[in-house]
Amino acid sequence: MKSDMNSLKILHAGALRKPIKECIHLLWEKYPDLKVDLEYAGSRACAKAVAEGKVVDVIALADYKVFNDILIPKFVDTSFVFATDQMVLAFDEFAPGSREINAQNWMDVLLNNNVRYARSDHRLDPCGYRTLILWQLAEKYYGRPGLYEQLENNWSNLYPKSIDLAVALYEGKIDYGFVYLSVTIQMNLDYVQFPSEINLSDPRLAGYYAQAKVTIEGNYPGLEAEITGAPIEFAVAIPKNSNQKELAQEFIDILTGPAGEKILEKNGLIPC
Amino acid sequence: MRIVLRFLLIIFLYYIIVLVSIQEVTRFQMTENKTPSAAGITLDKMIQPTLLLLIYAKPSHGYELIQNFNALDPTEIVEPATIYRNLRRMESEGYIISKWKTSEAGPARRQYEITQQGVAALEEAVVKLEHQKKQIEEFINTFQDLKEGRRASEK
């Protein structure tokens, strides 16, 4: 163990805020005086910050592919997949159409002029590009040509990360929002569950999900990167420039061990 | 003739009752009374035996196991969450162990391997399944015999 126990720096996807905090409490049982710096942002924003020189000891993101795209091999050796999730449509119980919305008619409810629905920013947050992927898959699954464009042209709000969207929903600033099931469980929001063909939860449908593609700005100005639809997988890693590698590993051992699994499950994630 | 048919019907009903009782007792033993070797995976929906068999064939991670999982009932979809939960349960009970395995292009995932206890559980499951298979065959044969006997008596 390194002698400098003053600070463990953790940077994580907003959607992981609650389980990460609960795992820190377990670490504090062993190191009560440990100082923890906790920061969160959209996963792509987190990875870009590390690539631009931010020093952290643990980085936990909502998509392992963000590690591959931005951080591996220069800033991180390997990421570890520790949880899965699914996309859902969360809503405010007083939203227009909230009493009749279901897995078959949700798009018609959203495209009503009185409804405010939101997604997170696909350039910063995996939940954002997963929403766009879900809309593309929904167009095929429901046999509704032009649905993707209709949904993309009519959203009312765009948030940097899914947790901001969930908070806006909780506060009644928007009516509907595309988020992870775990976030709706943590915030006790109502939600519509999508069929597995579009909710990005099932590895058996990986080939089907891969039909959808989203283009985002790449790692260098002027370059574009293509994101392909895939099952949702959260991953964690220790950056090469961490000053607290052993302590960071202890934290990851908690997150991925039996105690962490209970915390993840309680917060609506599926430990894997 | 009617007396014979009634007699056969009573035997048939009695057989069904005995069969259901045996199934219930077997299910209870499988879930509640683990043997001293701890070989006691649940045969419910064949989820645990199927996972153990896949891992016995090749150490695999959860993602791969879900892709290769064929449900006993093809109309039933076994959710990924159910598979991951069963894997964790079997690991905590000692039938499998996991370690992080990094693939060439992808991330590290938890890879599962079967333990000696897991192999014993698989063997015990096979014995129980053989017994159930025999029961089902006897059930089908009895029914077919009764059906043919009924047809013959109606002619």
What are the pLDDT digits (tens) for B71-115? Answer: 666 777 889 999 999 999 999 999 999 999 987 778 999 999 999
Q: Which residue range forms the structural domain that includes residue B149?
A: 2-154
> Is A7-84+233-271 assigned to CATH 3.30.70.100?
no
Q: Looking at the complex, does the CB of residue B109 fall below 8 Å from at least one CB of chain A?
A: yes
Per CATH, the homologous superfamily of domain A87-215 is Periplasmic binding protein-like II (3.40.190.10)
Check if the interface score ipTM surpasses 0.95: no
Q: How far apart (Å, rounded) are the C-alpha atoms in residues A13 and A40? A: 6
Q: What is the CA radius of gyration of chain B?
A: 21
Cβ atoms of A79 and B108 within 8 Å: the answer is: yes
- pLDDT tens for A131-164 read 999 999 999 999 999 999 999 999 999 999 898 9
Which helix (H) or strand (E) is B97 found in, with range?
Answer: strand B96-102
- pLDDT tens for A117-129 read 999 999 989 999 9
A196·B77 Cβ contact <8 A: yes
- Chain A residue with CA closest to B110: the answer is A272
Q: How far apart (Å, rounded) are the C-alpha atoms in residues B4 and B8? A: 6
Per CB-CB distance under 8 Å, the chain A contacts of B66 are 202-204
Q: Looking at the complex, does the CB of residue B71 fall below 8 Å from at least one CB of chain A?
A: no
B80·A64 Cβ contact <8 A: no
Cβ atoms of B65 and B54 within 8 Å: the answer is: yes
Per CB-CB distance under 8 Å, the chain B contacts of A81 are 63, 107-110
Mean per-residue pLDDT, A101-120: 94
DSSP string, A144-192: -TTHHHHHHHH--EEESSHHHHHHHHHTTS-SEEEEEHHHHHHTT-EEE
Mean per-residue pLDDT, A243-248: 95
Q: Of B146, B103, B112, nearest to B4 (Cα)?
A: B146
Mean per-residue pLDDT, A189-213: 96
Total structural domains within chain B: 1
- Helices (H), ranges, chain A: 17-30, 43-51, 64-66, 106-110, 126-141, 147-154, 162-170, 181-186, 206-209, 245-256, 258-266
Q: Looking at the complex, does the CB of residue B9 fall below 8 Å from at least one CB of chain A?
A: no
- Give residues with Cβ within 8 angstroms of A189, minimum separation 6: A90, A91, A92, A166, A169, A170, A179, A183
Q: What is the CATH number of the domain that holds B142?
A: 1.10.10.10
- pLDDT tens for A204-236 read 999 999 999 999 887 666 778 899 999 999 999
What SS3 class is residue A4? coil
Chains A & B: contacts with CB separation below 8 Å: 57
Write out the two tokens for A151: 């949904």
Cβ atoms of A160 and A122 within 8 Å: the answer is: no
pLDDT of residue B3: 53
- Chain B residue with CA closest to A253: the answer is B100
Flag residues of chain B having pLDDT under 70.
1-39, 71-73
How many residues belong to chain B?
A: 155
Q: How far apart (Å, rounded) are the C-alpha atoms in residues A117 and A221? A: 31
Write out the two tokens for A183: 């976030």
What SS3 class is residue A13? strand
Q: What is the CA radius of gyration of chain A?
A: 19
Which helix (H) or strand (E) is B135 found in, with range?
Answer: helix B116-154
pLDDT of residue B39: 54
